[in-house]
Amino acid sequence: MSALDILRFAIRALRGHALRTGLSMTGVAIGVASVIILTSLGEGARTYVIDQFASLGTNILIVVPGRTETTGGFPGIGGVANDLTIADAEALACEVRAVTRVAPVSNGNETVSAGGRSKQVMILGTTAEMRGLRNIEMRAGRYLPEGDWERGTSVAVLGSGIARDLFPGTGAIGRVVRIGDFRMRVIGVMAARGVTLGMDFDQIVMVPLATGMRLFNRSSLFRIMLQHDPQADVDRIQANVTRILVDRHDEEDFTLITQDAVMSAFSQIFAALTAALAGIAAISLSVAGIGIMNVMLVSVSERTHEIGLLKAVGAHPRQILFAFLTEAVLLSTAGGLVGLGIAAASLETLVVALPALDATPPTWAIAGALIVSIGVGAIFGVLPARAATRLDPIAALRG
Amino acid sequence: MIRLRDIWRTYDVGGRPLHALREINEDIEAGEHVAIMGPSGSGKSTLLNLLGCLDRPSRGSYELDGQEVAQLSESQLTSIRRDLIGFVFQSFHLVPRLTSVGNVELPMMFAGVGRRDRRRLANAALESVNLLDRADHRPDQLSGGERQRVAIARAITMEPSLLLADEPTGNLDTRSGGLVLDLLEELRSHGLTLLLVTHDPGVARRADRVITLVDGHIVSRMRGADLGDVNPYIAAVEAADGAAVPSAVGVSSGEPAR
């Protein structure tokens, strides 16, 4: 009896009960579809978040004043003995070779007004390096000028939303805005970018670092952002940065955050979420497996005569086992393929509805769901198939 | 062909032994046509199952074609059933979703005969039972007689040396039953040994020999031609002082007393 014979025999048997076959196939299809759809959503969410981080700019280290362990407070909030200074940032720029860009940042909230319109916004005092560091695109004009960090000119770069709000219908370049007590000339408008990681780039005003510090009457920095050579050894850079700052401050009163650490933390959280979703969906697959087992048991008890006959005409118990197992596996495999189709169609629809979410099913989920659905047939088919082989042919023929 | 020596088949019923067959000694020659008669519960089906290697005796020796089969394993018995024995049943036992030719092909499929050979041999078998024109019909499109002829085609397609028939005409009207018997007898001319269980003296009379079982014993052996219109076991039981015969057993009708 060839494999093809067994297959043909099983297909005929399944076609003999089209409704029953269809229903138990549907069970598997729903299971497989839910595994694929849910994992796709989980993966989509993960890539969405990762992309958000990547849009920060890549290969970035952030130095924040304060030490979580020693001060007990949140880094960057509350008074710290040794604040980060422009000199610290300059030292890092000069002494750590693998660091390609250094952007010190000071920030605060202030009212921006022009032509009778005003708005409370976040002001970021920083340097020209910030542009490359955070991939800032300009819609018009230019970004903050390069040059001495200590010298602050009275210029401002507006977020696209602010430019639209303050100067509706007209260009903002060359116009004057009032920020707090200072008057500044608008030299550029950033391209619309939207919210990334809670910071709305469209509702932000950037001014030169020294201007910002004067504006908020501060001598310390909010943080220092560093971008390093992608090929460089991050651990070594971290060690160097730490050493230089400890030398300057006589103690480790700052915190170094790597973008990789944050990203991998988020990535892990979302991977766990995806796995949990897959697990929940897998439960529906095992329920479908029990459905298959039920259908096969019914089939065996309905076909006692046939099984008795097969035994009488010399079918080996192993052949009978294979025939019934093949039926179960066919059932679950067909269900799995249908489920794949359902998942593909649903995701297609979802992409239209939610273009931002890249809900592409991960390959492991597709392969896994198919393998599991085949396995479900094999595992849940064993019991009925063995029940078939164990039938006493005499009783089966009489019954 | 068949040599039975001191065959016992004992079932355990509620902790007490029930002897379905006791001390059976019998020889059946190749090409013989033997009918087995007996009341319900006399052990004739048990005997047929033993002969068909569907069951094993509790005790004794069964030689089939010179091979001792009483102690063979389940899987060895499967091979013997496949290669040496054909079965015909009262209720045909055709697989309802398969066509006639598909049903006839079944034993060959499990024996590993190739697809093309299978089809050719199945068609030949259907031709020998005059049903080639019904090859593509499913059982529900066939009459009872036709179904039994398909079952016979299936039983002979592996060219067995022994054909076992359990009430083959039990579900058929007289005319179809007669046709089926003609067919079975015709097969004997090819050297097939034919053993059939029946209640019908009209069927048994056509056999070379009639063996009568009562309570698991062989109580009489006679030539089929010597069989009268009365079930021989009635006479046999009466002769053995009428010990344990159920009075309600049907006499000489074509009906199965099941």
Q: Are B231 and B199 in contact (CB under 8 A)?
A: yes
The whole-angstrom separation of Cα B207 and Cα B218 is 17
**Chain B touched by A309 (CB under 8 Å):** yes
- At A104 the three-state DSSP class reads strand
Angle between the N-to-C axes of helices B100-111 and B74-84, in degrees from 0 to 180, rounded to the nearest 10: 130
Task: Count CA atoms closer than 13 A to A178's CA, side-chain side.
Answer: 8
Q: What pLDDT does residue A328 have?
A: 92
Whole-number pLDDT of residue B256: 44
In Å, what is the CA distance from A104 to each residue of A110, A128, B40, B240? 19, 10, 104, 119
Of B185, B131, B135, B132, whose CA–CA distance to B163 is shortest?
A: B185
| Smallest CA–CA distance from B102 into chain A, residue | A9
Residue A81 pLDDT greater than 80, yes or no = no
The string of DSSP codes covering A107-135 is EEEEEEEETTEEEEEEEEEE-THHHHHTT
- Identity of residue B143: S
B97 → closest Cβ in A1, A5, A12: A12
The shortest C-alpha distance from A386 to chain B (Å) reads 15
Per-residue burial over B118-157, b = 16 or more CB atoms within 10 Å of its CB, e = otherwise: bbebbbebbebbebeebbebbbeebebbbbbbbbbbbbbb
The answer to whether B134 faces chain A, any CB pair under 8 Å, is: no
Summarize the confidence of residues A104-119 as an average pLDDT: 90
How big is the A-B interface in CB pairs under 8 Å?
67
- Closest approach of B225 to chain A, Cα-based (Å): 31
Is the distance from CB of A254 to CB of A64 less than 8 angstroms? Answer: yes
Sign of the Cα torsion A326, A330, A336, A340 reads positive
Helix and strand numbers, DSSP H then E, in chain B: 8, 10
Number of helices (H) and strands (E) in chain A: give both, helices first.
13, 12
| pLDDT tens-digit readout, A27-70 | 889 988 988 888 888 888 888 887 777 766 678 888 988 875 54
Shortest Cα–Cα distance, B54 to chain A (Å): 7
Angle (CA) B85-B92-B172 rounded to 5° is: 120
For an interface test with A, give the residue of B110, B117, B159, B197 to mutate (most A CBs within 10 A).
B110
Q: Tell me how far apart the alpha carbons of residues A262 and A187 are, in angstroms, rounded to a whole number.
A: 34
Indicate the residue type of A217: N
Query: Does the distance separating the beta carbons of A393 and B79 come in below 8 Å?
Result: no
Residue A202 has pLDDT above 90, yes or no: no
Mutate to test the interface with A, among B45, B50, B95, B117 (most CBs of A within 10 A): B95
ipTM of the predicted assembly exceeds 0.90: no
The DSSP-derived string for B169-222 is TTTS-HHHHHHHHHHHHHHHTTT-EEEEE-S-HHHHTTSSEEEEEETTEEEEEE
CA pair distance A253, A242, nearest whole angstrom? 10
Edge-to-edge strand list for the sheet holding B16-28: B16-28, B2-13, B59-64, B67-68
The residue count of chain B comes to 258
From A17, which residue of chain B is nearest by alpha-carbon distance? B97
Cα–Cα distance between B81 and B86 in angstroms, integer?
7
B190 to chain A, any CB pair closer than 8 A? The answer is no
Query: With contact defined as beta carbons under 8 Å apart, do A173 and A188 qualify?
Result: yes
Asked if A316 and B111 come within 8 Å (Cβ–Cβ), the reply is no
Option in A305, A314, A394 nearest B55 (CB):
A394
CA dist B175 and B173 (Å) reads 6
- Measured between CB atoms, does A311 come within 8 Å of chain B? yes
Give me the mean pLDDT over the A1-19 stretch.
88
Are the CB atoms for B211 and B221 separated by under 8 Å?
yes
Confidence band of A179 (pLDDT split at 50, 70, 90)? very high
A310 interaction partners in chain B (CB closer than 8 Å): 106, 110
All residue ranges of chain B with pLDDT < 50 are: 242-258
Residue A134 confidence (pLDDT):
82
Sign of CA dihedral A349, A350, A354, A355: negative
Distance of alpha carbon A318 from the chain centroid: 49
Task: Please name the member of B79, B91, B115 whose beta carbon is closest to the beta carbon of A314.
Answer: B79
Q: Which of A71-85, A87-101, B16-30 bottoms out in mean pLDDT, i.e. has the lowest?
A: A71-85
Task: Quote the CA–CA distance of B176 and B172 in Å, as a whole number.
Answer: 6
Report the C-alpha gap between B214 and B191 in whole angstroms.
30
Question: What percent of chain A is predicted at pLDDT more than 90?
Answer: 31
- Give B12-61 pLDDT, tens digit per residue: 888 899 999 999 999 999 999 999 999 888 999 899 999 999 999 999 99
Q: What is the mean pLDDT of residues A141-155?
A: 88
Q: Which residues in chain A have Cβ-Cβ distances shorter than 8 Å to B106?
A: 309-310, 313
Q: Answer yes or no: do B78 and A316 touch at CB < 8 A.
A: yes
Is the CB of B158 inside 8 Å of chain A's CB atoms? Answer: yes
CA dihedral A385, A388, A389, A395 (to 10 degrees): 170
A319-360 per-position pLDDT tens digit:
999 999 999 999 999 999 999 999 999 988 888 888 777 777
Contacts of A313 in chain B (CB under 8 A): 81-82, 87, 106-107, 110, 154, 158
